[in-house]
Structure 1
Amino acid sequence: MIPRQLEKGSIEDSVFPETEIVDWDGDDDPTNPRNWPGSKRWAHVVIISILALITNMAPTMCAPGIKEIEADLNIASNVASTLAVTLYVLGIAIGPMFISPLSEIYGRVPIYHGANVMFVAFILGNALSRSLAQFLVFRFLSGCAGGTPMALGGRTIADITTIQKRAAAMALFSMGPLAGPVLGPVIGGFVAAGPGWRWTFWLLAILGGVAGVTALMVMRETHPKVILERKAARLRATTGKLHLRSKHANTSLLPSQVLVRVLIWPTMLLFQSPILLVISLYVALVFGVMFLLFTTFPSVFEGQYGFSTSISGLVYLGLGVALVASMFLFNVLNGRVQAARMKADGVQQARPEYRLLLMIWFSPFVGLGLIIYGWTAYYKVHWIVPIIGTVFMGFGAFFVIMPAQLYLVDVFGSQAAASALGANNLLRYVSSTFLPLAGAPIYHSLNYGWGNTLLGLLALAFVPGPLLFYRYGERLRAKSSVKLGGSS
C-alpha cells in the first residue's frame, strides 16, 4: 500500500510555533479567483481552451502532407513515416508528468507561459528540420510542451469555479481538445497543398505565439496555495511578523514525493486494480485505433479515391462531427440516465457503475464503424460511406472515453483519481503513438476490409468489460486492496 504521507504534505504534522494563519478575507474576498468577475473567469476558460485547441491541432495537422514530408526528408520507412505523425502524442504522455506538477510549486501561469514558449520554439524546429532525426526530436519535444494546457486546464477551472458552475466551464474547455485533432488536418490539407508542409508548422507557431501573447496579457495566477503564500510573504515583509503563514503552508511536497505521485503510484494502481487496468486498456485501444485511422486517411482517400491533398483533409470532419454531436448527446443523457437508474434501484446516491450505462449502449459503434469503414474503402464504395463509418467510430469512441474518465473519478475518489487518470492517460497516449505502427503491416497482409474487421472485433471484445463491471463492480471495489472513493 502507498503510505498516507504521499497524499499529504511532508510537513503536515509539523507545528509552527505561535503561527498566525493567513487566509482569504472572508467568503467574498475579491482576490479569491472564484470571486473574480464572471468575464474575467470565463476569459481564462476561453484562453486555456484556445491553447488546448492549438496544441491539439499539432498531432494531426501535418498528416495530410505526410507524402511531401517523406519526399523532402528522404523517409523510406513506413514506421518512420507513422512516427512523424504520432511521436508528438508520446510527448503529450510524458512531458506533462514532469511539467504540470511544477504548477503546485510555482503556480499555474508561469507553467502555461513557459510551456507555450517551448511549444512554439520546438514547432519552429519542425518547420526548419532538414533531416528525419531533427524532425522526430522536435516532434517529441513539442508534444512534451504541448500537453501542458490539457494537463493544467482542469486544475485551473477548479481554481476559478464552484462545483455548481464547473460542468459548463469544463464543457467549454473540452471543445479545444476535441476540435483540435479534427480541425488540424482540415487546415493542414489546404496548407500542405499550397505553401507546403513546412507552413503547417509555421502556421502553428504563429497561432501559438498569438495565443501566448494573449495569455500573457489576460491570465493571472489562479492557484489558491500560491496566491495565499504570496499574500503571507507580502504581509511578513510589510508588518515584520515573521510567524505569519499561509493556510496552505503545510501542504507542500518534496520533489521525491512529487516523483512518487506522478510516476510510481499510477503504475501501482494500474496493476492493483482490475477495474483500472481493463478500462484503461479499452480506452487505449480506442484512442490508438483513432490515431491509426488518422495516419491511414491519406493513403485511403488519396490512393483509393484519388482525392487531392487539400480535399483529403476534409475527411477528418466525419470524426469531428461525431465527437461534437456525442458531447451534446452525452450532456442530455448523462444526468437523466443516472436519475432514472437511481429511481429504479430505490437509492439516494448514484453508484459509480451508473456511469457505464452509456458506454454499454454506445461502445459497440466503435467496432461497427471500423467494419463499415474497412469494407467500403476496400470495395471503393462511394467515398461518403467510409466517412459515415468514421462517424460511427467517433461516436462510439466518445462514449468509451468520456464515461471511462467519469467512472474512474467516481470509483477512486478525490484522493486517488488523479493517479488513476494519470495511468489511464499514459496508456492511451502510448497506444496512440505505437498502435498506428501496426497499420501498414495489417493492411498489407489483410487489406482494408479484413484489417479493419480485426480492429473492430478487438474493440467489440472489450464490450463485455463494462457489462461485467456494471454488474459486479461494487463487489470488486469492496474486495479491492486499493482504497477506492466509490466504496467508502
Structure 2
Amino acid sequence: MALVMGTQMIADSISPIAGSYIAQDLGWRWSILLAGIVFGFFSFLLLVVYRETCAVIILKRKAKRLQKERDGKQYRSKHQARVDATTIIESVMKPLHILIQSPILMLTTSHMTIKYALVSLILAKITETMESTYPNVFSCGSIGLTFLTLAIGNTIALNFYSLTSDRYMIHLQKKKGEAFEAESRLIHLLLTAIILPMGVLIYGWSSEFQVQYIVPLIGTTVAGSSMTLSTIPIEIYVVDVYKIHASSAIGAGVIFHASAGAFLALTDPPLYQGFGYSWSNSVLALIVALFIPPLGLLMRYGD
C-alpha cells in the first residue's frame, strides 16, 4: 500500500516537469492531449490485466458461481445486502456517519485536510513565486523543474516510512504484545505536524528576502515529504480499523481534502497580497502546528 500511494504522489510531482517542456515546445494543448492519451492507454491496460482483490466482490462472485454449478441452489455472500432506495441512501451517508462517530478519524482527517490544502497551495503558487522572485534563473520550461523538489521529498518520505514503520510496529508488539493500539501506526503523523511548518517557513521567508533559490526549494522538499509521510499511515490505519467499511471512511476524507484544496486556493490572492510570502506562510504554518498537541495526546493515550 505504501508503495502504490507513494509512487502516485511522486508522479503528481514529476508530471508538471514534463508538462512544462511539452507546453514550451508543442503548445499547452499538446500537454493536455498527451496526458489524456497516456491515461486512456493505462486505463484500458488495467481493465485487461487487473484482478479483483476486494473480498466483498470476490465472495459475491463465488456465491453466484456456486449457485450456477449446483442447480440453482441459493448461495449468498455474508456481505451481500439488499439493493433498494434505503440501502443507497445509507451508503451515501455512511462516510459522513463514520466520520462524525470517530473523534480520532475526525482529528486525522482535519489534519490531513489542512495539510493537503496547504501543499496544493504551494503547488499552485510555486511557479509564480519562483519566476517572479528569480526571473534570471528559470525559463518557461525549466520552471517545471521546481516540482522535482516535491518528488524528491516524496521519495525520501516513502523510503523513510518503509524503513521505520514495520520496525516500529514489531518493536511495539514485542513490548506490549497484542495490547498496542492501532493508533500507534499514526506516529509519523505527529512527525509531519512538526516538519511541515518548518518547510513552509523556510519556503516563505527565503522567497520574501530573495535568498539563493536553492533555499526555498529545500523548503518545498520538506513540505513534499510531509505529504507522503502523513497520507500513507492514515490510509493504512483506516483500512486496519474499518475493514470492509474502509472505503467509506477514506471517502469521507477525500471529500474534505478536495474541498479544502479548492477553497483554500481562493484565499491565495488576498493572503499573499496582504501579508507577503513570509507572513502568509507563517500563518499557514501556525495552523498546521496547532495539531501537534492533540496528535501528541493521541500518541500518548491511544484510543
Return the TM-score normalized by structure 1.
Answer: 0.57
In the other structure, the counterpart of 2:205 is 375
1:203 and 2:37 are equivalent in the alignment: no
Q: CA deviation at 1:210?
A: 2.2
In the other structure, the counterpart of 1:442 is 271
1:461 and 2:290 are equivalent in the alignment: yes
1:231 and 2:65 are equivalent in the alignment: yes
Consecutive unaligned residues of structure 1, counting only runs of 5 or more, are 1-169, 475-488
Q: CA deviation at 1:403?
A: 2.2
- How far does the alpha carbon of each residue in 1:403-458 deviate from its partner, in whole angstroms, 9 at most, with x for none? 22233344x43254333222122211211222122122110110001111111111
Q: CA deviation at 1:217?
A: 4.1
In the other structure, the counterpart of 2:159 is 328
1:471 and 2:300 are equivalent in the alignment: yes
Contact 1:376 1:386 in 2 (8 A): yes
Contact 2:111 2:288 in 1 (8 A): yes
Instruction: Select which of 88, 92, 95 maps to 1:263.
Output: 92
Q: CA deviation at 1:172?
A: 4.0
Query: Aligned partners of 2:294 and 2:262: how far apart in 1?
Result: 24
* SS at structure 2 position matched to 1:242: coil
In the other structure, the counterpart of 1:365 is 195
Query: Aligned partners of 1:216 and 1:171: how far apart in 2?
Result: 23
Query: Aligned partners of 1:366 and 1:250: how far apart in 2?
Result: 41
Contact 2:6 2:154 in 1 (8 A): no
In the other structure, the counterpart of 2:170 is 339
Instruction: Select which of 180, 186, 191 maps to 1:356.
Output: 186
1:415-426 aligned at under 5 Å gives the runs 415-426=244-255
Query: Aligned partners of 1:250 and 1:272: how far apart in 2?
Result: 22
Query: Aligned partners of 1:464 and 1:409: how far apart in 2?
Result: 25
Evaluate the alpha carbon distance shift between residue 315 and residue 209 of structure 1 in structure 2; reply closer, same or farther with a 3 A threshold.
same
1:401-440 aligned at under 5 Å gives the runs 401-410=231-240, 412-440=241-269
Evaluate the alpha carbon distance shift between residue 445 and residue 259 of structure 1 in structure 2; reply closer, same or farther with a 3 A threshold.
farther
Query: Aligned partners of 1:229 and 1:442: how far apart in 2?
Result: 57
Contact 1:262 1:422 in 2 (8 A): no
In the other structure, the counterpart of 2:224 is 394
Query: Aligned partners of 1:326 and 1:228: how far apart in 2?
Result: 40
* SS at structure 1 position matched to 2:27: coil
In the other structure, the counterpart of 1:128 is none
* SS at structure 2 position matched to 1:386: helix
Q: CA deviation at 1:229?
A: 5.1
Query: Aligned partners of 1:449 and 1:429: how far apart in 2?
Result: 26
Q: CA deviation at 1:281?
A: 0.7
Contact 1:364 1:396 in 2 (8 A): no
- How far does the alpha carbon of each residue in 1:23-59 deviate from its partner, in whole angstroms, 9 at most, with x for none? xxxxxxxxxxxxxxxxxxxxxxxxxxxxxxxxxxxxx
Evaluate the alpha carbon distance shift between residue 261 and residue 204 of structure 1 in structure 2; reply closer, same or farther with a 3 A threshold.
farther
Evaluate the alpha carbon distance shift between residue 470 and residue 256 of structure 1 in structure 2; reply closer, same or farther with a 3 A threshold.
farther
Evaluate the alpha carbon distance shift between residue 253 and residue 315 of structure 1 in structure 2; reply closer, same or farther with a 3 A threshold.
farther
Q: CA deviation at 1:358?
A: 2.4
Contact 1:363 1:397 in 2 (8 A): no
Q: CA deviation at 1:176?
A: 4.2
Q: CA deviation at 1:298?
A: 1.8
Q: CA deviation at 1:360?
A: 2.1
Evaluate the alpha carbon distance shift between residue 228 and residue 390 of structure 1 in structure 2; reply closer, same or farther with a 3 A threshold.
same
Q: CA deviation at 1:232?
A: 4.3
Consecutive unaligned residues of structure 2, counting only runs of 5 or more, are none
Query: Aligned partners of 2:198 and 2:186: how far apart in 1?
Result: 19
* SS at structure 2 position matched to 1:363: helix
Query: Aligned partners of 2:24 and 2:72: how far apart in 1?
Result: 64
Evaluate the alpha carbon distance shift between residue 281 and residue 220 of structure 1 in structure 2; reply closer, same or farther with a 3 A threshold.
closer
Query: Aligned partners of 1:213 and 1:414: how far apart in 2?
Result: 29
Evaluate the alpha carbon distance shift between residue 340 and residue 220 of structure 1 in structure 2; reply closer, same or farther with a 3 A threshold.
closer
Q: Which has the higher contact order (CA 8 A, sep 6+)?
A: 2
Q: CA deviation at 1:246?
A: 4.2
Q: CA deviation at 1:354?
A: 1.4
- How far does the alpha carbon of each residue in 1:348-368 deviate from its partner, in whole angstroms, 9 at most, with x for none? 343123113222234311000
- How far does the alpha carbon of each residue in 1:35-93 deviate from its partner, in whole angstroms, 9 at most, with x for none? xxxxxxxxxxxxxxxxxxxxxxxxxxxxxxxxxxxxxxxxxxxxxxxxxxxxxxxxxxx
Q: CA deviation at 1:261?
A: 4.6
* SS at structure 2 position matched to 1:194: helix
Query: What is the RMSD computed on CA atoms of the aligned residues?
Result: 2.4
Query: Aligned partners of 1:212 and 1:398: how far apart in 2?
Result: 24
Q: How many residues align?
A: 298
Q: CA deviation at 1:322?
A: 0.9
* SS at structure 2 position matched to 1:309: coil
In the other structure, the counterpart of 1:187 is 18
